[in-house]
Structures are given as C-alpha cells and as structure tokens.
Amino acid sequence: MDDSKRLVTMANQIAAFFKPYAEEDAIKGTYDHLIQFWDPRMRVKMIAHVEAGGDGLSPIALAAAKLLKKPASAA
Amino acid sequence: MVAPFYQDLGTPARQSATDVTLEIDGVSVTVPAGTSVMRAASLAEIPVPKLCATDSLEAFGSCRLCLVEIDGRRGTPASCTTPVEPGMKVHTQTDKLAKLRKGVMELYISDHPLDCLTCSANGDCELQDMAGAVGLRNVRYGYDGENHTHLEKDESNPYFTFEASKCIVCSRCVRACEEQQGTFALTIGSRGFQSHVSAGVEENFLESECVSCGACVNACPTATLNEKTIIEAGQPNREVLTTCAYCGVGCSFKAELQGDKVVRMTPWKDGKANHGHSCVKGRFAWGYATHKERITKPMIRAKITDPWQEVSWEVAINHAASEFKRIQAKYGRGSVGGITSSRCTNEETYLVQKLIRAAFGNNNTDTCARVCHSPTGYGLKTTFGTSAGTQDFDSVHEADLIMVIGANPTDAHPVFASAMKHRLREGAQLIVVDPRRIDLVRTPHVEAQHHLQLMPGTNVAVINAIAHVIATEGLLADQYIAERCEEADFKLWLDFIKKPENSPEATEAMSRVPAAELRAAARLYAGAKNAAIYYGLGVTEHSQGTTTVMAMANLAMATGNIGRRGVGINPLRGQNNVQGACDMGSFPHELPGYRHVSDDITRKLFEDAWGVTLDPEPGLRIPNMFDAAIDGTFKGIYVEGEDIVQSDPNTIHVQAAMAAMECVVVQDLFLNETASYAHVFLPGSSFLEKDGTFTNAERRISRVRKATPPVNGLADWEITMALSNALGYPMTYTHPSEIMDEIARLTPGFKGVSYALLDGLGSVQWPCNDAAPLGTPTMHIGGFVRGKGKFMITEYVPTEERTGARFPLLLTTGRILSQYNVGAQSRRTHNSMWHDEDVLEIHPFDAENRGIRDGDRISLNSRVGEITLPAKISDRMQPGVVYTTFHHPETGANVVTTDFSDWATNCPEYKVTAVEVRQTNQYSDWQANNDDFRVQTKRIATAAE
C-alpha cells in the first residue's frame, strides 16, 4: 500500500467510527483526531491529496480533511 | 533491598470480624476466628514443629509432628488443623509430645538417605531442621529395612529434579500444584508404604501436564524437588528483592545470589501481584542474562553489510550523536526519533522520551505499547477518563462472573490465571470470548459456562450484541447509569444499541456465535452481583481494537460494574511495563501523565523543568515512522530494547523502512533482527543489572533492584544519558531515584511516588498523590475520573482484510506459555525444550481438504508475504481459522501479517489476516534470503579484520 493510499484508508477508518454521530459531530470528531494524532507531515500529505481531488476519501473524511490547515512546523 | 526475614506461620491467615483469645504455653494470644492453633502459636513466637504445613497452603494434617495438648481435650490433636477457640489452653512442649514427635521423626529418618553433608538442600532442609528441633539422636529401627532410598531420580525437567528417595510424601507439592497453580498435574499414587508423588499418570515431569511454575519446588521441605542451579552451585548467600522482566503481571522475586552470580529466583510471598507464586519464565528462564550471545561491547559500522567493529563507549556514543545531528541538519528536525520497549523501566522510558523531545526537538517517540495496548489507553480514557485498568489483581477474588475476552491468561499471564482459576474453583462463573478454545475453557475443576467462539475480527459485533440483549431485556443498571454517566451520550448509545442490526440473531451470521448462547451469556453477565471483564491483545490488535475497548466500557457502565471490588475492565498487559511505558509519555502525542503535547499549560510545565522549547505537534507513531522512512523524510532512529523487525507486522515493509534509514542505533542485550539494520549497537543491561521501576497491568509500581553489576559496564539509563549529553542536551542524574523524583514532580498521578515510599510499602498503585498517599487499588469509586462516564457509539465496521477464493482462511497469532514475544529472552533458555519452533495450528477439516498431515511443512501465504512452517492439526479453532506464534525469527510469522491497523491508534491488526496454506517441502524465498542476511549482518570483526 503506498503512502497516500494508506493515509486515505486511515482517514476513512476514523470517519467510519464517527459516522453514527450527527454529521457535524462526525466531521469534527474526525478532524480533531487528525489534529491530535497525525504528525504534521501526514496532514500536509492529506491536504495535498484533498487539493488533488481527495480521491478515495469518504464524505466525512473528505469534509474533515478539508478543514486541515498546513501546520507551521511541518517537516 | 533484602527481602525481610520471613517466618513460615504454618497455615494461611484468616480474615474475621471476630477475634479469639487463647493461651498457648501460658502466653495470651488474640487472633481472628478461624485461625489455626499452629498459626496462633507462631504469631506468639512459639514455633511448633511441622513438616506438611506451610502458610502458603491449606492445612493437611498428615505429618503428625505438630501435635499439641489442649486442656479438656483428649489425645494430641494436630495444631495445623485445629482452629482456635476462646479460652483454649494449649501446650506445645510436654514430655508426651516430645516423645511422640521424636518417634515420628525416627520413622521419617529411617527411610531417608543420610547424605546431609552432600545433599543439595543442606542448610535449607526442613526435615533436617525438625530432626534438630525434636532432638533426634538415633533411629532405633536402623536403616536396613524396606525403604525408598534406591528410587531413581527424575531429571527430565530442565530446571529441577525430583529425587523420590528423599520424598517424605507430605503432599505439599501436590497441594501447591492444586491450590496455587491450579494445574493438578501431581498426585499421590498407590497407598500405604507404596505411596509416592506421581507427575501425571506415572510420567516423568517433562512429559506430564506440569507447567514448571516451580510451586512444588518452593513447597518441598526436603531436597526431593530441587532447582538444578542450586544442585550445581549450592545455597545462595545473599538476596535482592526485585521484579520480573517478563509479562504484565509483574511478579516480585527474590534474586538469590552467591556473590554476583544469580543461583535462584524465588517468588516473594509478600509480592502483592503474585503472593509467592510464579511461572516457568520468571521462576526459571533468567539464564539469558548471562547467555554466550550477549553483546557486552559497543559496536559501530558504516554500512549494514559491513562487519561490526567493537569500539569504546565514547566512540560509539559520539558517533551516534554526530550521525543524528548530521541527519537533522540535512533532512530536518523531524527526520529522527526513537522507540522504547515495554521491557524498559519507567525511568529508562522517561529518559528516552525526554531525549527525543528535548535533544532531538521533536515528538517522534513511541513505545511497543503501540502494537499491543494503545487502544486500551484511548478507549478507557475516552469513556472513563483514565488510560488504565480499573482494578487490582486481588479484585478477582470477589468476582462472581468473569468474562475473558481475547486473552489467554494461562499462557500469557500465568500467575494471574492461577488466581483467576482459584476464584473459578470457588464457584465464580466464566464466559470466554475467543476464536480459539483456550485452556481456560476447560481445565481441571474449571469449565466455562459459555465459550463464545467468534470469528476473528467480530469482537465489536459480539460485544454490541451482548449489550443489545441487556438493553432490550430490561437488564440495565438504570440507577447507576442515571447517577454516574452522561445522560445525552447514554441516550444516543441506547438508541444505537437497541437497533435490530445489533441483535445476536443479526450478528450470528458474521460472528458464528449462536444467538441463543450469546443471549444466555449476556443474561449471566448482567445478572451477576460482581461481573469483571479481563481482556488482552485479542481485543486490541484489530482494526476496531479501540472500538471494542469502548464497547466493553459501555457494557460495564450499562450494568454498573465499575467502581468497586470484584468488577471492572481489566487489560492484561503483554509485557511487564506496558502500563508504565504509556504513563511515562512514550506516545508521540502525549507528555508524561497522558497530557497532550498541544496543551500549553502542560508544555510550559515541562519546558520550565527541562529548559527547552517543546514541539506542540504530535510526532510519528511507529507505523508512521516506517512509512516516512520509505518516503524519505525519516532517516534515523534510536531503538531501546525493542525488536521491531521481528515484532511489527508486514516484515518486508518494516525491513524496507529500516534499510532506508541512514542511522539506526540499537540498544539491546543481543544482536536481534532490528540490529541487522543498525549502524550503532549499544549493549544494554538486563533487569538484574540495574535499578528502576516497572508498572504492571494493575497500575502497580514495583522496584527493580540491581542484583549484579552490568556486564556491559553501564545501566541503560546511563547509556541514554550519555547519548543525550553527546547530543548537547545535558542530563546529570546520579541514580534512577532522581529520575523518579522528577517524574513525581511533573506528573500528578505520581506525585507521591518515591523510592523511599516503594521501599516502605513494597509497591504502590497509581494514582499515588495527596488524595491517595498509599495508592489506588480500585479506580472510579463514587465517580469516574472524567466526571461522568461517557457511553460511546460502537458501530461494527468489518475489517478491510477479507477472505476470498485466493485466501480463504483467517490467521490469528498469539503466544504460548514457555516463550515470550519475540523470544529474545526465552529462546536463550531451556524453555525452548517445550517450544523450539513456531507451528501453524490448523483444524482437521481444513487440513484434510488440503491433504495436510500433522507435522507436514506447509506454506502460509497472505496478500503481503509467504513463510513455511510445520502444521499442527488441532481442533482448538473453528474450521476456517488457523493460528501461529511469532516467537522465532527464522519463521518470520509477521511476514504474512498486514498493514491494517486500529482506526484510532494504528495498533496493528495481528489477529486477522486472510491466508491460504498448502503443502511444501522447502523454505519460502523470504526465509531463505533472510537466513543469509541474518548471518551476513551479525558478523563481528575480529581484531585482525
């Protein structure tokens, strides 16, 4: 599995957990998880993936990933 | 610290609200009702001669040596089996008793070898002591009569001998096997003069069901059962109290030494985790510490294909530091990181994460808890507020219903399993949720009421279904929920869990658990006065590991089974310091005490203490490090005590990541599989050679004490300090106690912890602070740490790892009693006599369909790799499920496990891999290539090279 595919899988897994909650809460839960547990370079890659169309991301994962901002300390 | 002198009081202590006062030899004694006369006398410092009695076993009354006289009673009752009564007047020393005891001893000695001077127990023999105590001077019967002194010695067990000629048939060994270990492997065969101790059905010890826990050896009053190390070396002359370095039970041991040589490890009776019991690993498998393959000199090399060059500590440390600096200068601050093992002490782990955060300047720190119990931390913190189990081990003795989910305690946590079996024999009921029929499902005098034999990967569906039954059949603890839990979250959960798709009937198709049996198990759990859940890696190592932890927490809250003794959610941690490694801030997103790195107040606290600016962003977790290495952004790693190449999933991916790095520094006892990719090897110290603390699965912090000097010259904490100093971040600790003092200053739950406190109490369970100065055995009493308990919606999401035509079977992995994880320690002991290679357990149907016979070499193939190993036909699993262990690097079990991981923590999904098996007669390509690679990369240059 290449790196971007793996990140898409991981983001979709997180979104799948939060999916039973109200959509707004699910997106926030997914976004918070990405911020709290993903190293900046992973988030930068995800931002790039979203900018390239976000292929493979579930609707909740895509919505959460769109909220990501490029971290100041990205390596 | 030397273990306090221990006087054997003859019979176990009794708890009673009523005290009884009696008189023994004119001395007034007050003891709890139910106490034996023997124990009361011992407490009054009036020892009564005894042979078959010991205070770790219930009284038996067979040796007839502890006879006493009691005013108003006829005869001479045995003091061990006679309970005290108010006003009783007991006499332990009379002419009549002296004559009787001497007569008994004459009979014993008339059938006992008189080789005391050359006997291995000389000086440590209760028979010898009692002969002296009763004043035996001659044996009227002589020694020529029929006797047992010619009987052969059983030396089959690698660790102890059974010398039948010295046996006095006191049954202490038999009773220890039953009462303490719960295996029932020993019995007394025949009758009368022919009575003898028999392992199994007249087998030798090695071939019998004996699990070599050593309880019988401890219990034996003579040299009948004796450690081979003692036979070879003689009796110890000093002892040091310490903590076992194997599993998460964290047993207390006395390291018994002759000078600097360990000759025996004896479980400590006052150890609060083990109460004097042990397993084959802790008791006997410590020889790895002095194994010939131990590396004792630092080594470096430019390329991993070069032979190692031995160098001084200064050269090795400076080389590692300069390489890390070079890499950071070239690739950026985040291009390096480090990993510690959960076998490291708290102090070592704390230092490594401090080095990474303060000297490397990033948060790329992780621990092998990542690949075992990281979902526990996330799940329990979310629901309860604390990343830890809720009980102490002793709580199991008050459980009425025990549910074991995804754990195999008799193999992986044997000493706690013995405590659990003890409670089950007392009548507690048992539910096992496991794809395999583990031993606990049916073992002597224990049988599970329900074995929910689910398919791997369906934990969430099964736990949800149990909760569904409880929620829909009116079995909820309504008052508890109303008082203790968040109302809105509970309502959301209730709506979710009542949905028909969570019913046992709906989930049966995927889980294969019969709905009726699941319903019965759910009712049993909900109806128990005290229901306790114990779980292991069969819960956590899944794509939905964290979800299952939350689902179990929901279940416990829904039935009011949190916040008192006998209940709880109890993770059985794999390694000895998994809990401690997590507590110490080893995760890349958390500082010590589970506080997120983005929290400004916490970061400021550590910045002020450490004198550096800390990175507010989370770092890379272990799997992310591998991905980043292959991606070219992660180039250097410091690995202390962990063999990631053998233990982490998808070995080929891990090997590629390691090969892509420019500086790999491995600190370990041996040249492990990860060391094959290393450029610097720093020889580590064993648990016998250093000071520190371990925190076990019940949050119990226990001291590790230096028993021998480190053969490598430095303790591990000193090596980390040296590396930090070379990197330019000064560390100046002079003893690990100073590190613990710093931890206590910076971590609220550890505020009261110090080496002085641990020396005084023996051990303590965190939180230990102003509110709980003596620690906290049971969490969440009266309220949850987070305030109110939080129910979480736990929808079942099947793993993306699916079976199909090419890979129709599901592989699940685990470990066995005699070996330990990657086997770096246990493979270098005699434990390999029980398990010298990994095998694949396969159901007879699956084997027959493929023409596979027991012992055939078979290919095990998954989507990511192939290995070969011998087949073992077994009906422990359902058809469609196969099982193996990962103890042997030559096998490479993780070549076939995949990259799938837990959604929240990236804990790998070791427990679900789609595979196919077929007959073969050769090693896989990976195995053949890896064998050559291992040889090439472990070469050490000789002086002439």
Check CB contact of B899 with chain A, cutoff 8 Å. yes
Amino acid B207: pLDDT? 96
Residues belonging to chain B: 945
| Degrees to nearest 5, angle at CA B632 with B327 and A49 | 135
Give the integer Cα–Cα distance in Å for B240 and B614: 40
Task: Write down the H helix ranges in B586-693.
Answer: 600-610, 622-631, 644-647, 651-659
Interface test with A, best of B901, B903, B906, B909 (most A CBs within 10 A): B903
User: B333-358: per-residue pLDDT in tens?
Assistant: 999 999 999 889 999 999 999 999 99
**Contacts for A26 with CB less than 8 Å, ≥ 6 apart:** A15, A18, A19, A20, A60
What pLDDT shows up at residue B338? 98
Question: For residue B123, what pLDDT is reported?
Answer: 83
Contact A1 B631 (CB under 8 A): no
ipTM for this prediction: 0.96
Residue B945 has pLDDT above 70, yes or no: no
- CB-based contact B631 A75, cutoff 8 Å: no
Q: For residue B815, give both structure tokens.
A: 């470990």
Residue B145 has pLDDT above 70, yes or no: yes
| Per-residue confidence (pLDDT) for residue B46, from 0 to 100 | 95
Residue B897 touches chain A, beta carbons under 8 Å: no
When mean pLDDT is compared across B37-41, B136-140, B643-647, the lowest value belongs to B136-140
pLDDT tens sequence across B291-341: 999 999 999 999 999 999 999 999 999 999 999 999 999 999 999 999 999
Q: Do A37 and B633 touch (CB under 8 A)?
A: no
Give me the mean pLDDT over the B638-656 stretch: 96
Distances (CA, A) of B790 to B44, B497, B557, B564, B571: 53, 15, 9, 18, 19
Q: pLDDT band at residue B942, thresholds of 50, 70 and 90?
A: confident
Among B186, B218, B232, CA closest to B205: B186
- Strand B450-452 to B881-885 pairing: unpaired
The phi and psi torsions of B504 (rounded to 5 degrees) equal: -60, -35
Q: Is the pLDDT of residue B944 over 90?
A: no
C-beta atoms surrounding B147 within 10 Å:
14
Alpha carbon distance B440, B81 (integer Å): 32
Please provide the DSSP assignment of B646-673 as one string. Answer: HHSSSHHHHHHHHHT-SEEEEEESS--T
pTM > 0.90: yes or no:
yes
Domain coordinates in residue numbering, chain A: 3-68
Gap between the terminal Cα atoms of chain B? 46
Instruction: With beta carbons less than 8 A apart as the criterion, state whether B683 and B652 touch.
Output: no
| d(C-alpha B644, C-alpha B891), whole Å | 15
What b/e readout covers B347-366, taking b as 16+ CB neighbours within 10 angstroms?
bbbbbbbbbbbbbbbbbbbb
Which residue's entry shows tokens 């590790």? B704
Query: Which residues, at least 6 apart from B411, have a Cβ–Cβ distance to it below 8 Å?
Result: B438, B439, B814, B815, B816, B817
Q: How far is A39 from chain B (nearest CA, A)?
A: 5
Nearest to B3 by CA among B223, B229, B210, B276: B276
CA distance linking residue A35 with residue A14, whole number of Å: 12
* pLDDT attached to residue B753: 98
For residue B697, the SS3 value is coil
DSSP for B223-276, please give it: SSEEEHHHHHH---SEEEEEE-SSBTT--EEEEEEETTEEEEEEE-TT-TTTTT
**Does residue A72 have a pLDDT over 80?**
no
Tokens of B603: 């970061």
- What does the pLDDT average to over B211-219? 97
Check whether B8 has a pLDDT greater than 90: yes
- Percent of chain B whose predicted confidence (pLDDT) is above 90: 95
Contact yes or no for A40 and B617 at CB 8 A: yes
Contacts of A21 in chain B (CB under 8 A): 492, 793
Instruction: Tell which residue, B592, B469, B454, has the closest CA to residue B523.
Output: B469
Length of chain A: 75
**pLDDT value at B746 more than 80:** yes
User: Considering CB atoms only, which of B333, B795, B901 is closest to A20?
Assistant: B795
Q: Are B307 and B945 in contact (CB under 8 A)?
A: yes
Question: Distances in Å between the alpha carbon of B681 and those of B246, B666, B712, B821, B876?
Answer: 23, 5, 12, 21, 42
Q: What does the radius of gyration of chain B's CA atoms come to, in whole angstroms?
A: 29
Lowest mean pLDDT among B135-149, B187-201, B269-283, B531-545: B135-149
Percentage of residues of chain B with pLDDT beyond 70 = 99
Quick: pLDDT tens for B431-473.
Answer: 999 999 999 999 999 999 999 999 999 999 999 999 999 999 9
Cα B424 from chain centre: 20
Please report the pLDDT score of residue A75 as a whole number: 45
Residue B381 in contact with partner chain A when CB distance is under 8 A: no
Tell whether the model's pLDDT for residue B60 goes beyond 90: yes
Q: The tokens 């979710």 sit on which residue?
A: B496
Residues in B touching A40 (Cβ below 8 Å): 334, 617
Kindly determine whether residue B617 and residue A42, on different chains, have CB atoms separated by under 8 Å. no
Are B198 and B189 contacting, i.e. CB atoms less than 8 angstroms apart? yes
Structure tokens at B881: 């499920």
pLDDT at B470: 98
Nearest to B481 by CA among B422, B556, B557: B557
Q: Do A41 and B628 touch (CB under 8 A)?
A: yes
What is the overall mean pLDDT for chain B?
A: 96
Per residue in B855-879, pLDDT (tens digit) is 999 999 999 999 999 999 999 999 9
The per-residue pLDDT for B657 is: 98
| Euclidean distance between CA atoms B834 and B819, whole angstroms | 9
Long-range contact set of residues B151-156: C-beta below 8 Å, sequence gap at least 24: B151/B196, B154/B199, B154/B204, B154/B205, B155/B228, B156/B204, B156/B205, B156/B206, B156/B207
Instruction: Verify whether the Cβ–Cβ distance A75 to B333 is below 8 Å.
Output: yes
Interface contact B621, partner A, CB < 8 A: yes
**Residue (of B569, B555, B433) closest to B494 by Cα position:** B555
pLDDT in tens, A32-66: 999 999 999 999 999 999 999 999 999 999 999 99
Q: Which residues of A touch B334 (CB under 8 A)?
A: 39-41, 73, 75
Residue B7: pLDDT band with limits 50, 70, 90:
confident
Q: Between B804 and B142, whose confidence is greater?
A: B804
Find the Cα–Cα–Cα–Cα dihedral B46, B43, B169, B418, rounded to 10°.
-170
Q: CB distance B627–A3 less than 8 Å?
A: yes
Residues of chain B in contact with residue A71, where contact means CB-CB under 8 angstroms, are 617
DSSP state of B454: P
- Across B267-281, B590-604, B687-701, B811-825, least confident range: B811-825
> How far is residue B896's CA from residue B837's CA, in Å, rounded to a whole number?
17
CA–CA distance, B916 with B880 (Å, rounded to integer): 10
Longest dimension (CA), chain B: 92
What average pLDDT does range A2-14 have in this prediction?
91
HSE toward the beta carbon, residue A14, CA cutoff 13 A: 28
pLDDT band at B264 (very low <50, low <70, confident <90, very high): very high
Which helix (H) or strand (E) is B638 found in, with range?
A: strand B636-640
| Strands annotated E in B120-201 | 153-154, 160-163, 186-189, 196-199
